[in-house]
Chain A
Amino acid sequence: MITATGRLDRVLVLGGDSDIGIATAHRLVRDRGARSIVLAGRSPAALQRRAAGLEADGATVTCVEWDVTDIDGHEEVLGALFAAGDVDVTVLAAGVLGDQSRLEEDPDELLRVVTTNFTGPAAAVRSLAELLTHQGHGVLVVLSSLAATQARRANYGYGATKAGLDAFALGTSDALAGTGARVVVVRPGFVRSAMTAGMEDAPFACDPEDVAAAISEAIERPSRTVVYVPAAVRYVSWVLRALPRAAVRRLPR
């Protein structure tokens, strides 16, 4: 339960090795009194490393092996996590950037990105919506992207998967109205993280901690459904969507 002063207890990070997911967990432990963190992800070793940092902040951390692309296994794993106790905040941060040029050439790479960024997460959102409805409260934070708001030559593969997930999450948000549970869709611009390592900063680049801060704030405000990070990229998205196709085509990245 999230209290009147925004304090909460139990947080589930899906994609527990994601920089944004972990930064959010740290933020919720430090600022919102979260005491129990569940990290779910593919690599137990990576999760253990992340857990140590959170434990140093005073949280109790549980690590669970979970693969977003193993859709058949979602219900069982997620169901067990919710059965162990109410989950106040779920952060769905699993995803890959993919390689745009490779997925244009290799259908397997395309399928991998679509499954990891859309099919798997959408199936997880569906499962979570059921669990949250039963629970009657809780916030589901879905990591979308600024790239979801306009297809661009440089990253339309990634953008398309995020656009799909974004739409699915927004629709779920409407479906959950009146149940006590809610969805927050987060659309960061360029985030300096492991996913973008080696890439040059785009304008309005930010850090995982900035995304975490925006998420923490949105959790306290029931009216907030879509969050841009930094806030200014909302206007970038407006401009991108207002541009004629020919102009979008010429964008450098």
Chain B
Amino acid sequence: MPRRVLRGWGRTAPTGADVVAPVGVDDVRSIVRDAGDRGVVARGLGRAYGDAATNAGGTVVDATVLRGVDAFDATAGTVTAEAGLSLDDLMRLVVPHGWFPHVTPGTRQVTLGGALAADVHGKNHHVDGSFAAGVRWFDLEAPAWSGRVEPGTDVFDATAGGMGLTGVVTRLCLALRPIESARMLVETERATDLDDLLARMEGRDEDFRYSVAWIDLLARGRALGRGVLTRGDHAPLGALPGTARAAALDFDPVEPIGAPRWVPSGLLNVATVRAFNEAWYRRAPRHRTGELQGISAFFHPLDAVRGWNRIYGPAGFLQYQFVVPPHETGLLRRVVEDLARASTPSFLAVLKRFGPGGSGHLSFPAPGWTLALDIPVGVAGLERRLRRYDEAVAAVGGRVYLAKDSRLRADVLPAMYPRLDEWRRVRDRLDPDRRLTSDLDRRLDLTGATP
């Protein structure tokens, strides 16, 4: 088994693991059951920002080799595929037939298994919920149990958002959403400050299936929390110009260009990010409706640059994403103010309203406001500041997203994830000998002390 150094998408905290490519779905069983004392976890396309899919000294299952499509029913709108299939491959298959995944996150470069393990969300969370809501069933290989898992069972709920620690998902059946075209009908508006932004989102979010706001975290004073709100839905056939209707479902995203192999640390600093944010805000229209956009431009703009995570330089970056309940706009404001005051160079800050949470014990989405921001590591006092946010977020019943986390401390976990004990009980049934683990698990003591 070749030892490889693995990192998350943020390129921090490298650790070594023995990476195994299973020969087939059956091979997964023996890999999981034969794992050594440092345990095993599955890894997909490595888009978790932190240490969810690294396992120091242990085994990492390269799930991307299992990417076959078993069945696609273009009439009923269901697809069954191996868990290592990427959302990109899935969409290239189903979009031309008039179907769309239930949920897509900000990148298509995730595996279906990874999307379930993190129970990812998209711009439609306020309407459609998270990834698990579109899963009909999945097959799970756990050390002490394997079989098909359906919604409404505790194994389903422990696995959706369970960060891969309940077993290796080998196959999923997904329900798809019908679409008339591969274009998006988009409304864009500029919000002059945080109040304006929140009011606009609360006001009309329900009129749109998809909604997300980019927020300028360097704007201060009267412009604090200004942003650009983008909302839309799949364009009906009638919204396309006549000439485009014949090819309405064409979906052929261009091959991404690559980010430079090496970028100096500090390219993204307060000055460059401030300039970028200013330009980004200024170039957005005050209010524009009826714009047609492609799927990639609307959902996955960063997929156009392969390896964009390199632009933060060799030291890497982290992403911090939290959610607070709907009425906690005061805390949201304090965080935005604090980040602006500290001039945190974050140019990918995103604000979104979540709808009702799902059934996953450790699923991240919960009703309220979620803010996600990228920060280059090495910013002075960063850990201290984020730790303050952790505590404040936990105190109001909010939480930090584990799929993006690379630094949280174990002590805030029970407050953030109140169903942790329930999850542990199910997990221990599936894996009594604690074979499943990851660096995230070690850091946060997710699986807890041995019973």
| Chain A interface residues (CB < 8 Å from chain B) | 1-7, 33, 86, 133-137, 178-181, 220-223
CB closest residue in chain A, given B8: A4
Bound form: Cα–Cα A158–B176 in Å: 72
| Chain B interface residues (CB < 8 Å from chain A) | 3-5, 10, 12-17, 38, 50-51, 55-58, 314-316, 318, 377-378, 382-383, 386, 406-407, 409, 439, 442-443
Q: Which residues of A contact B377 (CB under 8 A)?
A: 4-6
Bound form: Cα–Cα A28–B160 in Å: 37
B56 touching A136, Cβ below 8 Å = yes
Bound form: Cα–Cα A146–B290 in Å: 69
Q: Which residues of A contact B13 (CB under 8 A)?
A: 1-4, 137
B72 to chain A, nearest CB (A): 39
Task: Say yes or no: A137-B383 contact (C-beta < 8 A), given A1-B443, A178-B4, A223-B314.
Answer: no
Q: A137, A178, A220 — which one has the most chain B CB atoms within 10 A of its CB? A: A137
A136 touching B58, Cβ below 8 Å = yes
B14 touching A222, Cβ below 8 Å = yes
B5 touching A4, Cβ below 8 Å = no
A5 touching B382, Cβ below 8 Å = yes
- Complex partner residue of B383 from A5, A134, A178, A179, CB under 8 angstroms: A5
Task: Say yes or no: A5-B57 contact (C-beta < 8 A), given A178-B3, A180-B5, A180-B17.
Answer: no
B12 touching A4, Cβ below 8 Å = yes
Other than the known A4-B316, A4-B407, A5-B383, what 19 A-B pairs have Cβ atoms closer than 8 Å?
A: A1-B56, A1-B439, A3-B407, A4-B13, A5-B377, A5-B406, A7-B407, A7-B409, A33-B383, A134-B38, A134-B57, A136-B57, A136-B58, A137-B15, A180-B3, A180-B16, A180-B56, A180-B57, A221-B315
- Closest 4 interchain pairs by CB? A180-B16, A136-B57, A136-B56, A4-B12
A11 to chain B, nearest CB (A): 16
Q: Which residues of B contact A1 (CB under 8 A)?
A: 13, 15, 51, 56, 439, 442-443
Bound form: Cα–Cα A4–B317 in Å: 8
Bound form: Cα–Cα A180–B12 in Å: 12
Task: Say yes or no: A3-B443 contact (C-beta < 8 A), given A180-B5, A180-B15.
Answer: yes
A28 to chain B, nearest CB (A): 13
Q: Which residues of B contact A179 (CB under 8 A)?
A: 3, 5, 16
A50 to chain B, nearest CB (A): 26
B406 touching A136, Cβ below 8 Å = no
A135 touching B318, Cβ below 8 Å = no
A9 to chain B, nearest CB (A): 8
CB closest residue in chain B, given A3: B407
